[in-house]
């Protein structure tokens, strides 16, 4: 672009990319997030520096009791792909990016067949073959059955997969991993959704361990689908799925990584030592608490990390990974 001069100085929008990159690496978190609002060229450079955001520690985030009024005062359905997900009592669903302010409203979720259904979790992703389109999956369940509804932004139609006589698998949790939506069922089986026909395909895996479903969670790392079991209290056991051999395998150690676990969100395995925290630990963030627990795999609590000042009452605590707001998880199209 053409350079313009003001009083002998170059236009700020035309600074060399190498210089902008140097500036980005020197900024603290708040200034880095404000960097993209200076001008179009700086925002373009900001979007090219996703690895800088990935190097930032995940935020221990919360919404105060007063702040909930700004988030529709409704049901919290989780955080996914950098978006906070909310629903209300008349089945409307919203997603909101807390960094960019981007917000999207989906059409109403179909009325549950059973009045006792409650919306339990939601995930959102982009669709590989439909740029600019979002897929949302909403899990609702009772003690005896489950229902997973899918919708693509811009369309009013919802597709659903319900448990019943022909499909007895009760879905307890859903997660996005390597372009697919996986599910954990109440009988400790792992399934994957075929989005072309909206069916849950249960995988035939060997070596399924004895777990306690109320204390079992799904998680992901860069290359592994994880299952975390805290049923053998006070300790934790972490398993991963060996898809090459279709087998469960136990992780004896997390190595130089740690697990970040929160409410209504899949656990994330990542390196915490670069942020000054411990490796081979679990960082458990309760839904309502003023502290985050730093726990070893054998269940020993090493520390309680403060989330907020003593005079603040946090609600809806969650982990927020900053680089997720720049690039969503994506799923392969089946629609």
Q: Are residue 111 and residue 50 in the same domain, yes or no?
A: no
Q: What is the pLDDT of residues 35-74, one digit of tens each?
A: 666 777 776 666 566 556 666 678 888 777 665 555 544 6
User: What gap in Å lies between CA 320 and CA 325, rounded to an integer?
Assistant: 9
- Please spell the DSSP secondary structure of 78-136, one letter per residue: EEETTEEEEE-TTS-EEEE-TTT--EEEEPPPPPPSSTT-EEEEEEEEEETTEEEEEEE
Q: Does the structure show a pLDDT above 50 at 141? A: yes
Q: Report the pLDDT averaged over residues 199-208.
A: 93
Residues 84 and 127 in one domain: yes
- Same domain assignment for residues 45 and 89: no
Query: Measured between alpha carbons, how far is 253 from 279 in angstroms, rounded to an integer?
Result: 10
CA 191 – CA 333 distance, rounded (Å): 18
What total number of domains does the chain contain?
2
pLDDT of amino acid 67:
56
Task: Provide, rounded to the nearest whole percent, the portion of the chain with pLDDT above 70.
Answer: 78
The burial class, CB within 10 Å (0-12 / 13-18 / 19+), for 26 is: exposed
Domain that holds residue 26: 15-56
C-alpha 116/C-alpha 140 separation (Å) is: 10
CB atoms within 10 A of CB 276: 7
117 and 24 both lie in a single domain: no
This prediction has a pTM of 0.82
Kindly state whether residues 26 and 107 are assigned to the same domain: no
């Amino acid at each position: 672009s053409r350079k313009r001069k003001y009083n002998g100085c170059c236009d700020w929008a035309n600074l060399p990319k190498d210089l902008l990159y140097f500036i980005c690496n020197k900024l603290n978190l708040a200034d880095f997030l404000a960097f993209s609002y200076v001008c179009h060229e700086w925002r373009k450079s900001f979007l090219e520096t996703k690895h800088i955001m990935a190097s930032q520690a995940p935020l221990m985030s919360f919404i105060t009791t007063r702040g909930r009024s700004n988030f529709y005062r409704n049901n919290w359905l989780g955080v996914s792909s950098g978006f906070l997900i909310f629903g209300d009592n008349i089945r409307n669903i919203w997603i909101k990016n807390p960094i960019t302010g981007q917000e999207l409203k989906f059409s109403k979720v179909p009325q549950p067949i059973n009045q006792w259904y409650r919306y339990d979790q939601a995930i959102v992703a982009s669709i590989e073959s439909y740029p600019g389109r979002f897929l949302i999956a909403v899990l609702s369940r009772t003690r005896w059955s489950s229902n997973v509804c899918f919708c693509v932004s811009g369309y009013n139609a919802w597709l659903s997969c319900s448990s019943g006589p022909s499909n007895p698998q009760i879905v307890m949790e859903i997660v996005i991993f390597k372009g697919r939506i996986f599910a954990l069922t109440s009988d400790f089986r792992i399934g994957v959704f075929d989005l072309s026909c909206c069916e849950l395909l249960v995988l035939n895996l060997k070596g399924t361990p004895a777990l306690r479903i109320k204390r079992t969670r799904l998680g992901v790392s860069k290359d592994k689908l994880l299952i975390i079991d805290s049923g053998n209290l006070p300790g934790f056991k972490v398993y991963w799925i060996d898809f090459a051999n279709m087998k469960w395998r136990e992780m004896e150690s997390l190595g130089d990584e740690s697990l970040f676990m929160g409410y209504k969100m899949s656990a994330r395995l990542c390196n915490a030592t670069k942020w000054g925290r411990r490796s081979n630990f679990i960082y458990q963030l309760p839904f309502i608490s003023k502290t985050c627990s730093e726990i070893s795999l054998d269940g020993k609590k090493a520390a309680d990390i403060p989330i907020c000042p003593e005079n603040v009452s946090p609600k809806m605590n969650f982990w927020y990974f900053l680089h997720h707001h720049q690039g969503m998880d994506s799923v392969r199209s089946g629609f």
